């Protein structure tokens, strides 16, 4: 029987990255085990699972058959599948149980570093939308009639946002937004339109899969690349580009990182989708390498095991990592861009990060390590029942203007300032000179609520001046003679309730009293 299916999988028709079984395979050709269990195994399509034979073609064939016949896929118990460097991708469109199987992904010699190993995709196709020439922020309805609830992506290539400042400076990204609408074009206000679009150069609708797709188990091992340390990101991963997906119980580790290496763009890479949950998974932080940035100076390269781009309502539940969350040899584990409604709940991870903006984020019941919380964006940022380590509780990224247009709430938390030469402690960090055009006006959180916060500064020197609410966001702004070309909007109100430092030292406003002179502080 296995020889028969080995013959079948050789007869596959390959179209781009997708692999479709020849249409002359009839349902009657399926063995009784398929019909009875509605499940296929990799071994049915010739996979050896011996840890040496490259099994990628058999894995592709199994998923292709399952996709065509709407069957589940199950890895063979305790098998070890070796996946070499071929430019091949297995398309997942049905429930998949990796179970107790192991997967060795060998990146020592690959044909295409940008090619995913697994791609979770929808069978529904993106559609172009015609007749919409502009959008307004917080608009509640758009003029469309759709067959399905859909994810709308809109772009204006004539406007640049996120014009990056600093060692990785760049010319910005096209103005973009992503939001959810029902069949009649009603916009889901839990993830509202956040920009005014005076012009639209591209707008598409991606129908939402309403049925959940489940991926469970699996122990994945990446043998790390040894390329020169440059920004040549590897995407040899499990990419998710389908809505309503749950990934649970997955384990990923990284082996063989040497003196040099190219960075990784997320072993779990979630993009262009919504309602994705990653739960009870164990990931691995990648070693930090240096290269020369756009400003001609050395920079540390971001390298991620989790990456989220252009996605809504993505949650990480009870996720941890294999390496020490306080070990600074490893880069922070998550990066994200153009997202809305991100959640950590019950996680122990080295970092939360929103590069090019997140609208609404929540961190609860979690512990964050040496890189802490880094973000820019809008809406409400809630941090509660968590332990935050690092240089601050929240670092508003200076390379994107330290901008958060909305409120920040910190509740029932423990802040443990990073040790090792640090003599200043601040709850909110960032920098904005008011002289750089980021492509949008920049804001500090309008209101900051801090309740039941303990600051463990017991291991800092006795001479340190005590914790401050705000970092010195612009040391050049000392008096009224300083002129901002792009004014930075300062926080209006800070509400404090039961904020205590272990050292017994009082909470200060900032080292830059002038910059924050108009902030109203109230204590309950």
pLDDT at 291 over 60: yes
Mean pLDDT over residues 386-398, rounded?
95
Q: What was the pLDDT predicted at 459? A: 86
Token output for 444: 């500090």
Residue 185, C-beta contacts closer than 8 angstroms, at least 6 positions apart: 141, 142, 143, 144, 145, 146
Q: Determine contact, residues 413/380, Cβ cutoff 8 Å.
A: no
Res. 422 pLDDT band, cuts 50 70 90 = low
The Cα 44–Cα 2 span in angstroms is 5
Q: What was the pLDDT predicted at 6? A: 38
The Cα 185–Cα 188 span in angstroms is 9
The Cα 159–Cα 195 span in angstroms is 11
Mean pLDDT over residues 312-332, rounded?
97
Mean pLDDT check: name the lowest of 1-10, 90-99, 240-249, 504-513.
Answer: 1-10
pLDDT at 487 over 90: yes
Q: What was the pLDDT predicted at 205? A: 97
Res. 424 pLDDT band, cuts 50 70 90 = confident
Coil, helix or strand at residue 57: helix
Token output for 132: 């919409």
The Cα 194–Cα 138 span in angstroms is 6
The Cα 437–Cα 401 span in angstroms is 9
Residue 228, C-beta contacts closer than 8 angstroms, at least 6 positions apart: 260, 262
Residues, the chain: 524
Instruction: Write down the residue that tokens 């199950």 correspond to.
Output: 74
pLDDT at 10 over 60: no
Q: Is the pTM of this model over 0.85?
A: yes
Q: What was the pLDDT predicted at 16? A: 36
| Proportion of the chain above pLDDT 90, given as a percent | 89
390: phi then psi, degrees, rounded to nearest 5: 125, -165
pLDDT at 417 over 60: yes
Please write the tens of the pLDDT for every residue from 464-475. Answer: 899 999 999 999
Please write the tens of the pLDDT for every residue from 116-137. Answer: 999 999 999 999 999 999 999 9
Helices then strands, each counted (H, E), the chain? 3, 37
The Cα 452–Cα 92 span in angstroms is 45
Average pLDDT value for the chain: 92
Mean pLDDT over residues 245-251, rounded?
98
Res. 462 pLDDT band, cuts 50 70 90 = confident
Neighbours of 386 (CB within 10 A): 24
pLDDT at 355 over 90: yes
Q: What was the pLDDT predicted at 33? A: 64
Mean pLDDT check: name the lowest of 21-25, 72-76, 87-91, 225-229.
Answer: 21-25
Q: What H or E segment, with its residue span, contains residue 6?
A: helix 2-10
Mean pLDDT over residues 256-282, rounded?
97
pLDDT at 352 over 60: yes
Q: What was the pLDDT predicted at 29? A: 41
Coil, helix or strand at residue 225: coil
Q: What was the pLDDT predicted at 35? A: 65
Q: What was the pLDDT predicted at 92? A: 98
The Cα 279–Cα 337 span in angstroms is 21
The Cα 42–Cα 337 span in angstroms is 35
- For 398-419, letters b (16+ CB in 10 Å) and e give bbbbbbbbebbbbbebbbbbbe
Please write the tens of the pLDDT for every residue from 447-461. Answer: 999 999 999 999 888
Angle at 350 between CA 344 and CA 351, to 5 degrees: 60
Q: What was the pLDDT predicted at 25? A: 32
Mean pLDDT over residues 380-388, rounded?
98
Instruction: Write down the residue that tokens 């060692």 correspond to.
Output: 167
| Proportion of the chain above pLDDT 70, given as a percent | 93
């Amino acid at each position: 029987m296995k020889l028969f299916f080995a013959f079948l999988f050789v007869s596959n028709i390959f179209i781009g990255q997708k692999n479709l079984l020849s249409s002359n395979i009839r349902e009657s050709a399926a063995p009784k085990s398929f019909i009875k269990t509605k499940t296929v195994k990799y071994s049915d399509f010739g996979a050896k699972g011996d840890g040496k034979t490259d099994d990628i073609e058999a894995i592709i064939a199994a998923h292709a058959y399952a996709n065509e016949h709407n069957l589940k896929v199950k890895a063979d118990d305790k098998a070890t599948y070796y996946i070499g460097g071929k430019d091949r991708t297995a398309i997942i469109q049905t429930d998949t149980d990796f179970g107790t199987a192991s997967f060795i992904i060998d990146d020592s010699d690959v044909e295409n570093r940008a090619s995913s190993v697994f791609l979770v995709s929808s069978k529904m196709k993106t559609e172009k939308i015609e007749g919409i020439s502009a959008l307004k922020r917080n608009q509640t309805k758009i003029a469309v009639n759709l067959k399905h609830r859909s994810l709308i992506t809109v772009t204006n290539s004539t406007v640049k946002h996120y014009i990056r400042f600093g060692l990785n400076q760049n010319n910005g990204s096209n103005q973009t937004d992503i939001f959810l609408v029902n069949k009649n074009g009603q916009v889901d206000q839990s993830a509202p339109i956040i920009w005014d679009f005076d012009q639209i150069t591209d707008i598409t609708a991606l129908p939402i899969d309403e049925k959940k797709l489940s991926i469970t188990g699996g122990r994945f091992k990446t043998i790390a690349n040894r390329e020169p340390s440059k920004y040549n990101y590897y995407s040899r991963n499990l990419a998710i580009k389908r809505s309503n997906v749950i990934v649970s119980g997955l384990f990923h580790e990284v082996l063989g990182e040497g003196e040099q290496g190219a960075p990784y763009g997320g072993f779990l890479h979630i993009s262009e989708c919504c309602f994705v949950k990653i739960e009870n998974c164990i990931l691995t932080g990648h070693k930090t390498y240096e290269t020369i940035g756009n400003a001609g100076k050395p920079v540390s390269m971001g390298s991620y095991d989790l990456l989220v781009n252009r996605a809504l309502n993505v949650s990480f539940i009870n996720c941890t990592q294999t390496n020490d969350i306080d070990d600074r040899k490893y880069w922070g584990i998550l990066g994200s861009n153009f997202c809305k409604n991100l959640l950590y709940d019950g996680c122990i991870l080295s970092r939360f990060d929103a590069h090019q903006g997140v609208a609404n984020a929540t961190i609860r019941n979690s512990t964050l390590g040496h890189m802490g919380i880094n973000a820019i964006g809008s809406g409400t940022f809630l941090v509660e029942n968590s332990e935050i380590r690092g240089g601050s509780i929240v670092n508003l990224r200076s390379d994107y203007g330290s901008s958060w247009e909305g409120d920040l709430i910190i509740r029932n938390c423990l802040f443990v300032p990073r040790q090792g030469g640090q003599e200043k402690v601040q709850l909110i960090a960032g920098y904005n000179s008011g002289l750089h055009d980021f492509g949008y006006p920049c804001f500090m959180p309008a209101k900051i609520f801090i309740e039941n916060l303990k600051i463990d500064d017991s291991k800092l020197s006795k001479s340190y001046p005590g914790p401050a609410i705000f970092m010195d966001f612009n040391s050049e702004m000392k008096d009224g003679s300083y002129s901002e070309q792009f004014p930075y909007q300062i926080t209006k109100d800070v509400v404090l309730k039961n904020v205590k430092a272990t050292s017994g030292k009082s909470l200060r406003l900032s080292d830059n009293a002038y910059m924050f002179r108009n902030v109203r502080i109230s204590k309950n």
